[in-house]
Amino acid sequence: MPSLSRFCIPEPLSFRRELLAWYDESRRALPWRESTDFYRVWLSEIMLQQTRVEAAIPYYLRFLDRFPTIQALAEAAEPDVLAAWSGLGYYSRARNLHRAARLAGERGLPASYEALRGLPGVGRYTAAAVASIALREAHAAVDGNVVRVVSRLTNGTGEIDKEAQRLLDRERPGDFNQAMMELGATVCVPGVPKCGDCPVLRHCAGHAAGRERELPVRAPKPAVREIALELIVLRRGDEVFLSRRGASEKRLAGFWELPERAGFPKVVAEPAGRFTHRIVNDRFRVAVWTGRTRGNPPGGEWVDPAALSGLPLTTISRKALHLVHNSGPRDL
């Protein structure tokens, strides 16, 4: 085995050259990589917070079709923005995106990393990613993929942020950041990395030490909280009864949702099925019932099914309706 000492600190020039050559040849064709337009880059980075690439793609395309420019987004009503985001989760992202678009309309587009940090919902990583890709500023974007790559490169001995900044290619900062994330997402994956496919394997101290599978060292995850939930799809003709969360709610304020079955003890209900839904450390075990009534129950409104796609609807309710209308749940 080669001496470990020669691996401990990747040599930046050859590392950049080899990584970028691989990225230029092997990168995935993703819709937000077709342009370095500020709005498109910014939107993609906000959507990719807490969301897998594959899940984000259809939402990204639909959202751009609905709001093709920052101005269109700034002029939209919040319920329309939330409806376009519905199903993607973490809805504070959509609200912050909307607020930031309005600020950009008033002040002009951010022209620097520091200006990006002043926008709602834009933290260090997002600011660095957008600044490097859209503005060509030399800021290393350190997400979970990059943490894993750098930890393995340095055998867990380096300071992640400093090492990422040291390795950064100043001439192509946006491509370099995307290459690091691409490497972590497709080759230097969690658990068992695909070291045989790695374009920069000779720089990896973790691999040389035989520790690539144990890096990065992470703190134990908190226990999952199990939550039982019973919902009812209540119909009057073709209409569905929905309630709306209040503006003061901590989560999902203003969203529409199916009511809980316990609120309708006199309705004859039939079981429709079950599914689970995970939100961070909460796992909801959802039982869905169906029933009919002719009245006007308090605390909600009757909604025509054709209007559902235009409403900000909670993901759990969307899954429940899908289960009832399609005879089985699936991940949306």
Tell me: do 130 and 240 sit in the same domain: no
Tell me: do 113 and 233 sit in the same domain: no
- Residue 317 in contact with residue 257, Cβ under 8 Å? yes
**φ/ψ (deg, to 5) at 153:** -60, -40
pLDDT per residue, tens digit, the chain (332 aa), is: 444 444 455 789 999 999 999 999 999 999 999 999 999 999 999 999 989 999 999 999 999 999 999 999 999 999 999 999 998 989 999 999 999 999 999 999 999 999 999 999 999 999 999 999 999 999 999 999 999 999 999 999 889 999 999 999 999 999 999 999 999 999 999 999 999 999 999 999 999 999 999 999 887 888 999 999 999 999 999 999 999 998 888 789 899 999 999 999 999 999 999 999 998 899 999 999 999 998 889 999 999 999 998 999 999 999 999 999 875 443 33
Active-site entry in 11, 34, 45, 163: 45
Structural domain includes residue 216: no
Q: Report pLDDT for 9.
A: 59
Tell me: do 171 and 37 sit in the same domain: yes
Tell me: do 84 and 53 sit in the same domain: yes
Tell me: do 71 and 178 sit in the same domain: yes
246: domain range?
225-326
b (16+ CB within 10 A) / e for 82-114: bbbbbbbbebebbbebbebbbebeeeeebeebe
For the chain, the domain total comes to 2
CA 255 – CA 242 distance, rounded (Å) = 10
Tell me: do 21 and 139 sit in the same domain: yes
Q: Report pLDDT for 1.
A: 40
Q: Report pLDDT for 23.
A: 98
Tell me: do 198 and 229 sit in the same domain: no
Q: Report pLDDT for 327.
A: 56
45 is catalytic: yes
Q: Report pLDDT for 240.
A: 96
Task: Report residue 19 as tokens.
Answer: 């990584």
Tell me: do 320 and 185 sit in the same domain: no
Q: pTM of the prediction?
A: 0.81
Residue 210: CB atoms within 10 Å: 11
Tell me: do 13 and 72 sit in the same domain: yes
Tell me: do 191 and 281 sit in the same domain: no
Task: Report residue 82 as tokens.
Answer: 């939330």
Tell me: do 176 and 237 sit in the same domain: no
